[in-house]
Amino acid sequence: MTPKTTQPKAPAIVATSQQSRFHTETLNTSVAEIDLKGVTISVGHRELITDARLKLKEGIRYALVGRNGTGKSTLLQAIADKLIPGISTSVRILLVSQVEDTNYALLDEDAHTAVLQHVIHGDRKRTDAMKEFDALTRAVEALSVNETQRIVSELRLERLRKELSEARKTASRTSGARGKKAREEEIKAESRVKEAEEALAQGTVELDIAGTAAEMLTDISTTLELLDASTTESRAATILTGLGFTQAMMESPFLSLSGGWRSRCALATSLLVQSDILMLDEPSNFLDLEATLWLERYLTGQERTIVLTSHDQVFLNNVVEETIILRDKTLKYFEGTPRAHEIDERKRYKAAVKQQEALDKKKEHVENTIQKAKATARQTGDDNKLRMAKSRQKKLDERWGAETSAKGTRFKLNRDMAGYFLSNRAAIVLDEGEPPVKVVIDNPEKLRTAGNLVHLDNVAFSFKAGKGGAGKMLFGGVTLTVGQGGRCAFVGANGHGKSTLVKIILGELSPTKGTVIRHPLMKIGYFSQHSVEELSKETTQTPLTYFIEHFEKKGEAVTEGEARRSLAGLGLSGGTVSSMPMSALSGGQKVRLAFSLIVHHPPALLLLDEVTTHVDAPTIQAIAVALRTFTGGIILVTHDRWFSRVVVEGFSLSQAGAFGDHQDNDDESDASSSSEDEDFVKSPGQTFYVGNGKVKLLERGMEQYVELVERKLQKRERLAARAGT
């Protein structure tokens, strides 16, 4: 077992795997496939994965699913940094993390270049090859052989220094037989660098140095052709356009972009750069639906291995082919989407329950016959009855259990069980999976007077005009009403006015034209896109102390018991709230904390702007279930198709199309008894499209919006195809 450590400034990731003497022979294989046994990964003193099998088949798109905090991001980081012994050094792996821009970010000296050039320069291999091409071109065209020799020697030295850097990284991460060989390679690399430095200093001209330079130029030209370097700019522009960048944004300085758009740049770079394995950790964060749908299309057309994590379950199910489940510190594999896995898991559990019930009934019958046979034998002295009773008792004691194998065939001892067991039959396993996340949101008190919560009448909004110019109209003619207990969703591309409309409803902004009428007794609970960012500024406080002080600043005393109850309702309890510092909370835990602050006193209107970002799928599902029965009004801003369909449009969890069906097809009589479907939204809410200067009601809700976006993407593809021809 070989311990490994990652970069400084971050918690140490320690990774081990089962090894053999053959690993030293496969350090530099080019097989773009990973198959490792006995993988164990820990961070500090916390073990996240124990004795698991890590298998990534070439060309397969995987979903990596698991609860927040189980170690998904850590696993991806360990693979990307090749910390796990047995991952070939020649496998090209790219990771776009949800917390870092990219490992292939822009060079410091190019930080002021345009966005398009930032993405192009992010392809380090192409950038380095282009620099070598330019240098070798000068070498071939040089009038002096001394100049040609100098350029060639400098290039050789630079290449050898890169080899030495990689050799040192490998040696620092290995031990045992692999470590010994890696350190031997490091020593050889150091020797080659020293020889190259001496050759450059001496300046001795080699025989036929011009021919050598020409040969190197031919090789690097071939490399550029393999990298498809001539089309890099056009491919980068296509990717950026798909991710929502306009031409003006592509030409603007990279440093002028906000954090969300910089994350899109990192994603664009990863899609542009050639790799064997591409790992995307929450790529749909900060993407609107248009960019998300484009990314779905792009990824499904990729031939490389892809590993995805995402809180957007519809996106995940539309892209992936197989699922990796990180649960109970191990990795399980399923040949299908996360939704198919949930359906399969539910069906297996129900089948096991039925099988166990049938077996219990049969056991009861056998026990009764044994008792009757013994009683008869005692009364009549019938030895046959006594032998029958003993035989059946032996079956109960030694051969009672599953009568079919996992494949559904008849159980055979030698084939279906290996090792030492106390019984000759396996017990029926009732695996319910992980317990569901529970989210409790209390209902608000009914307002004492009638009337709508919010009414907008012919509202328009314009940005303030600059010197000598007219203000830019963002939207106009907005008329909508949200009644008590009503539902409303705003959808549309980023930057078209959804958040501005929310701030007008809140009263933080005044409309340029029109009127906004709010219920005088209404209290609004507002969750903004920046709620998590605000909590991230706190480092030393615990969630419990932060919660109490939050209300103290408002002049309200909240007891520790009340605070714990509210936090527990959102899934934060125990040591998490009382001892864990805010800086150690995951993004999903911070969302829960922020949400608990606004529902501690249940408001008449919940205004939720991208509440699902950073939250894992089970928690999103739990929040949706809680909001379905919330009696207050809800205004939702989201790009999550499933969430909007459930919370606003009244679909059941399975009907909305991301999570598994909780009722089997043959359970028609019980089809309405599923807990999450007991309370449908009685009057489905309205969905409004915000864009192109208007706020338009979509009669068919999210389904209609998806169709609009898909038509737009198809039109863009047709125009691109025409331009290409």
Per-residue pLDDT at 171: 76
Which among 67-81, 208-222, 293-307, 460-474 has the top mean pLDDT?
293-307
- Parent domain of 151: 125-226
356 and 210 in one domain?
A: no
User: 483 and 385: one domain?
Assistant: no
Total tally of structural domains belonging to the chain: 3
Mark whether 131 and 197 lie in a shared domain: yes
3-state SS, 496-552, equals CCHHHHHHHHHCCCCCCEEEEEECCCCCEEEECCCHHHHHHCCCCCCHHHHHHHHHH
Residue 551 has pLDDT above 70, yes or no: yes
Residues 609, 504 within the same domain: yes
pLDDT band at 675 (very low <50, low <70, confident <90, very high): very low
- pLDDT (tens digit per residue) in 587-644: 778 888 889 999 999 999 999 998 888 888 888 888 999 999 999 999 999 989 999 9
Are 356 and 482 within one domain? no
Give domain status of residue 699, yes or no: yes
pLDDT at 424 over 60: no
Q: Which pLDDT score, from 0 to 100, does residue 404 have?
A: 57
Which of 166, 196, 226 is where one domain is finished? Answer: 226
> d(Cα 494, Cα 287) in Å, to the nearest integer?
8
- pLDDT at 17 > cutoff 70: yes
pLDDT (0 to 100) of residue 430? 62
For residue range 479-496, list pLDDT tens digits in order.
Answer: 999 999 999 999 998 888
Q: Is there a single domain that holds both residue 402 and residue 498?
A: no
Whether 91 is covered by a domain: the verdict is no
Q: Is residue 262 part of a domain?
A: no
Instruction: Report whether pLDDT(460) > 90.
Output: yes
Is the predicted pLDDT of residue 108 greater than 90, yes or no? no
Give Dmax over CA atoms of the chain in angstroms: 119
What is the predicted pLDDT for the residue at 305?
A: 95
Q: Which of 366, 390, 416 is the last residue of a domain?
A: 416
Q: Report pLDDT for 674.
A: 41
- Report whether pLDDT(668) > 50: no
Q: Is the pLDDT of residue 447 over 50?
A: yes
pLDDT at 30 > cutoff 80? no
- The answer on pLDDT for 585 being more than 50 is yes
Average pLDDT over residues 255-283: 87
Say if 372 falls within a structural domain: yes
- Residue 113 DSSP class: S
Does residue 133 sit within a domain?
A: yes
> Worst-scoring range by mean pLDDT, 96-105, 344-353, 391-400, 529-538?
96-105
Count of helix runs (H) and strand runs (E) in the chain: 23, 18
pLDDT in tens, 687-725: 999 988 889 999 999 999 999 999 988 888 887 777 664
Q: What is the CATH number of the domain that holds 695?
A: 3.40.50.300
State residue 403's pLDDT score.
Answer: 57
Greater model confidence, 293 or 9:
293
The answer to whether residue 80 scores a pLDDT higher than 80 is yes
Same domain, 375 and 457: no
The answer on pLDDT for 396 being more than 80 is: no
Q: What is the DSSP letter of 285?
A: T
Average pLDDT over residues 146-168: 86
Q: Check whether residue 609 and residue 708 sit in a common domain.
A: yes
What's the rounded Cα separation, in Å, for the pair 34 and 269?
Answer: 24
Mean pLDDT rounded to a whole number for the chain: 81
Q: Quick one: pLDDT at residue 63? A: 96
Which of 416, 436, 461 marks a domain boundary?
A: 416
307 pLDDT tier (thresholds 50, 70, 90): very high
- pLDDT surpasses 90 at 517: yes
Average pLDDT, stretch 10-25? Answer: 64
Contacts (Cβ under 8 Å, ≥6 apart) of 43:
11, 12, 13, 14, 71, 74
For residue 234, what are the contacts with CB-CB under 8 A and spacing of at least 6? Answer: none
**Same domain as 364, residue 487:** no
Whole-number Å distance between alpha carbons of 395 and 401: 10
Amino acid 395: pLDDT: 73
Q: How confident is the model at residue 70 (pLDDT cuts 50, 70, 90)?
A: confident
Percent of the chain at pLDDT above 70? 84
Would you state the pLDDT for residue 181?
80
**In-domain check, residue 555:** no
* pLDDT range class, residue 179, cuts 50, 70, 90: confident
Q: What is the pLDDT of residue 173?
A: 65
Of the listed ranges 116-125, 352-361, 662-671, the least confidently predicted one is: 662-671
pLDDT over 50 at 239, yes or no: yes
Q: Which of 115-124, 139-148, 254-263, 289-298 has the highest mean pLDDT?
A: 289-298
pLDDT band for position 655 (50/70/90)?
A: confident
Question: Residue 665: what pLDDT?
Answer: 41
Band (416; pLDDT cuts 50, 70, 90)? very low
**Residue 104 scores a pLDDT above 80:** no
Select the more confidently predicted residue: 402 or 612: 612
Are residue 717 and residue 646 in the same domain, yes or no? Answer: yes
Report pLDDT for 410: 55
What is the 8-class DSSP label of residue 464? P
Distance, CA of 713 to CA of 710 (rounded, Å): 5
Res 105 pLDDT > 60: no
Residue 523 clears pLDDT 90, i.e. is over it? yes
pLDDT band at 569 (very low <50, low <70, confident <90, very high): confident
Query: Is 332 among the domain residues?
Result: no
Query: CB under 8 Å to 352, separation ≥6 — which residues?
Result: 428, 429, 430, 431
Task: Tell me what pLDDT residue 361 has.
Answer: 84
pLDDT at residue 426 greater than cutoff 70: no
- In terms of Cβ atoms closer than 10 Å to its own Cβ (0-12, 13-18, 19+), residue 400 is middle
Query: How high is the pLDDT of residue 263?
Result: 85
| 409 and 456 assigned to the same domain | no
Look at residue 280 and tell me whether its pLDDT is greater than 60.
Answer: yes
Q: Do 142 and 221 sit in the same domain of this protein? A: yes
Give bridge partners of residue 253 from the DSSP assignment: 114
Comparing 19 with 440, which gets the higher pLDDT?
440
SS3 call for 145:
helix
Q: How confident is the model at residue 8 (pLDDT cuts 50, 70, 90)?
A: very low
In a domain, 238, yes or no: no
| CA atoms lying within 13 Å on the CB side of residue 91 | 28
What is the pLDDT at residue 6?
A: 39
- CA–CA distance, 642 with 441 (Å, rounded to integer): 20
Helix 232-242 vs helix 259-272: crossing angle, to nearest 10: 140
The pLDDT value recorded for residue 670 is: 36
Q: Taking residues 429-451, report their average pLDDT.
A: 82
